[in-house]
Copies of this chain bind each other. A is one copy, B any other.
């Protein structure tokens, strides 16, 4: 290979990004070195700082810089209602809809045995501890309306039932097969209001 070693290493490192193949990694590396060295430095700093600073909220698993995320740390949020979502982006989408005053639990995915994503990866033990505490009255299962999202919701509904926590599933308004984070605020508000009890 005719590229200098540091360029080859940069191209290889960029390939760790999801959706980036060898050609895009090369295009990105050329762009940074050719037109935007300042951006390359800023990206390096942002990566290092995020790896050090960003952890998970101890209660809800949301990305957070403190032990608790701002929502869990906010005394005015309703801890009796727990909205279980797949991704931090879903929390952001629901917060932007302004229609929810409860708290969250972020799974960081859905059950997907073929990809090695099971109860451990999704923090089911931590979720069960939270549900067993007694403060949560209702778990709103807002996983994706896909086969995997539905399966994940049903397993969580069973866990909730064991601890006498009511489960509901957001339903109306969220398009089938759709990802929650792409749904507009009005639709999300409707879906939350129209939730139905599962157990």
Chain A interface residues (CB < 8 Å from chain B): 1-7, 9-10, 12-14, 16-19, 24, 26-34, 36-37, 39-54, 62-65, 69-71, 87-89, 91-92, 95, 108
In the bound complex, what is the Cα–Cα distance between A44 and B46 (angstroms)? 8
Q: Are B2 and A16 in touch, CB under 8 angstroms?
A: no
Q: Are A44 and B41 in touch, CB under 8 angstroms?
A: no
List 18 other contacts, CB 8 Å, given A4-B53, A5-B65: A4-B69, A6-B52, A6-B53, A10-B46, A12-B46, A13-B42, A17-B28, A17-B31, A18-B27, A26-B89, A29-B50, A30-B87, A33-B51, A40-B51, A41-B47, A43-B47, A44-B44, A44-B48
Interface residues of A: mostly helix, strand, loop or mixed? helix
Q: Are A19 and B9 in touch, CB under 8 angstroms?
A: no
